[in-house]
Amino acid sequence: MEKKSAILACILVLNMCTSISLVQCEYYSQSLPYNQVKEQKTSLHFYMHDILGGSKPTAVPIARANSGQGGPAPFGTLFAIDDPLTEGPEITSTLIGNGRGMYVSASQDAIPTLVMYMDLGFTSGKFNGSSISVFSRNPITESPREMAIVGGRGLFRFAKGYITVHTHSFSGNGDAVLEYNAEIVHP
């Protein structure tokens, strides 16, 4: 209702060619002071399973540079991921969500660095339906390493923070279990 009358008011103002500055007819609204809501910090601890091998991999290569470089993930290799997140390090432990998105092998150095573009979505407990957005480099041989949290959904709307990552285990065929400690500041 309010919207309708606002639109009507806009049309009126436009038709009359008046310059009533109180009514806005633009694609933007008036900027208002941002009253910061009290922020809180939530810590999360879970494991991410990045499985490249077997019949049901959770990370699959989707593009590769035509550089002739060898190895499982040479510079310019892009993977799509749907990695399970669990409470404990075992894949059979309680499933709490999934990490969906992509990572790209983005380093020309001898030591591989990935850049992660992913949404870690939670499917159980208090944060069911909420997610955190990660956009960060990930120097996979460093332990611990740090990734940036740049946003989120649901209860993590407006989130910011970081994740400390430890490689819990790594098998020959590239399967990895990663321990994630997330520190999240959010409303």
Residues that bind ligand NAG (CB under 6 A): 123-124, 128-129
User: Which residue, 124 or 169, has its beta carbon nearer to ligand NAG?
Assistant: 124
Q: Where are the alpha helices (DSSP H) in the chain?
A: 2-16
First to last CA, the chain: 30
User: Which residue, 38 or 126, has its beta carbon nearer to ligand NAG?
Assistant: 126
CB of 157 to ligand NAG, least distance (A): 17
User: Which residue, 151 or 154, has its beta carbon nearer to ligand NAG?
Assistant: 154
CB of 180 to ligand NAG, least distance (A): 19
Beta carbons of 186 and 39 less than 8 angstroms apart: yes
Q: What is the rounded CA–CA span in Å between residue 59 and residue 108?
A: 22
Indicate the residue type of 38.
K
Beta carbons of 42 and 186 less than 8 angstroms apart: yes
∠ Cα 184 39 164 (to 5°): 15
CB of 154 to ligand NAG, least distance (A): 10
Q: Which of 97, 92, 5, 3 is nearest to 44 (CA)?
A: 97
CB of 125 to ligand NAG, least distance (A): 7
- Tokens 């919207």 correspond to what residue? 3
Q: Collapsing DSSP states into helix, strand and coil, what is residue 126? A: helix
User: Which residue, 59 or 96, has its beta carbon nearer to ligand NAG?
Assistant: 96
CB of 128 to ligand NAG, least distance (A): 4
User: Which residue, 94 or 108, has its beta carbon nearer to ligand NAG?
Assistant: 94
